Structure 1
């Protein structure tokens, strides 16, 4: 355990850590198996002792997330033309695409901000917004809000754990990750209950069209 603590301390306090944090946060925007949130929380834990600088952690994590979201958007936009040409009117995929376009037009900014806190959801939403050609001038400011709020959130969770367990950073990281998992669980629980309620309402009214297409949660 002492070896793990020493390794983490050496890695997180290195000047190269800021570059690594930016790169991982950017990569996570379009390759969502990279643990960017865990890295931000760990940085926040050690920032409680002054190194790394908490402000720089927030700035680099936010810049990385902002960059990664735009890469995912551009990937979706680049593949959108081929996808839309292959959609046949009257098919399920065509209906899902139409639903996604209408939903993003109405609540695209809010969905983008909320999705940043859902593992995997951020990539699905940003790519879908690219596919449906959601205006970049509208996408960019909301992507900035999502990235900054996410970076502050992750750093703060870690910082609280670092303050609570100043002499045991491993416990601080565990507390930060536990809080993040709890928040994710609450978000997913609310989403599940809302989806279940919507399904129940649609069944009660007998309106099959009231339910959103099943493919709405992923890039279409």
Structure 2
């Protein structure tokens, strides 16, 4: 047990933690399977548990920078590749319809709102590139959504901090549990929405595209 604690402590207090988090959060944009949120929540819980204000501020900056960098990467892929958006739309049909209807009119609202839905970050940022949203408006929306997500992650760390008491092992366990619970809740909500949409849709009539991508 002592060896496990020592390993957790070494990882969470490593000088490589912050740059690795930036990279993981950025890559999590096009490839949302990396444990970036778990690691971020774990580090935040440890920082709050030990009342390390400097670490909390550093984690916020890291989360913000990594998130915006990842958004820009997916935005660029959306402009140059049909496959990224097509794959996202196929997985997230209901959300993609909402994004298509509102993206160009209220990009910041769409990017912030979609960010907290399963697959929403990939879908909304790729759609912004694919449908020709200009870079300044996209960047503004990306910064807003990234800041909201970063605060959300830190708030989870704030709630977990008193529970973990600054223990690296407990912080890691709490981060894993919260990541699993969050993913489960989002998946359940998405499933319920999909079932309601399927029940309400007329039989044999597919959803119309409100926004046509440029050729």
Q: Answer yes or no: is 1:121 the counterpart of 2:108.
A: no
Contact residue 13 and residue 52 of structure 1 kept, 8 A: no
Larger RCO (CA under 8 A, 6+ residues apart): 2
1:187 alignment partner in structure 2: 186
- Name the counterpart of 1:162: 161
Q: Which residue of 2 aligns with 1:138?
A: 137
TM-score, length-scaled by structure 1 = 0.74
Residue 90 of structure 2 is aligned to residue 62 of structure 1: no
Match of 1:105, SS? coil
Alignment of structure 1 residues 1-220 onto 2, 5 Å: 1-48=1-48, 49=50, 50=52, 53-79=55-81, 101-106=100-105, 108-166=107-165, 168-203=167-202, 208-209=205-206, 211=207
Q: Quote the Cα distance in structure 1 between the aligned partners of 2:106 and 2:181.
A: 26
Distance in 1 (alpha carbons) for counterparts of 2:11 and 2:173:
18
How far apart in 1 are the matches of 2:58 and 2:8? 18
Q: Deviations over 1:173-213 (max 9, x none)?
A: 3233333433333333333323322222223xx5724x467
Quick check: which has more Rg, 1 or 2?
1
**Residues 113/189 of structure 1: CA separation in 2 closer, same or farther (3 Å cut):** same
TM-score, normalisation: structure 2: 0.76
Alpha-carbon distance, 1:64 to partner: 0.7
Greater Cα shift, 131-140 or 45-54 = 45-54
Sort the Cα spacing of 1:103 and 1:147 in 2 relative to 1 into closer, same or farther, 3 A: same
Structure 2 distance, partners of 1:32, 1:109, is: 21
Q: How many residues align?
A: 195
Moved more, 115-124 or 146-155: 115-124
Deviation at 1:167, TM superposition (A): 5.7
Aligned residue in 2 for 1:88: none
Whether the 8 Å contact between 1:43 and 1:155 is mirrored in structure 2 is: no
Question: How far 1:10 sits from its partner (Å)?
Answer: 1.8
Query: Does structure 1 conserve the Cα–Cα contact (< 8 Å) formed by 2:45 and 2:157?
Result: yes
Offset of residue 72 of structure 1: 0.7
Contact 1:157 1:180 in 2 (8 A): no
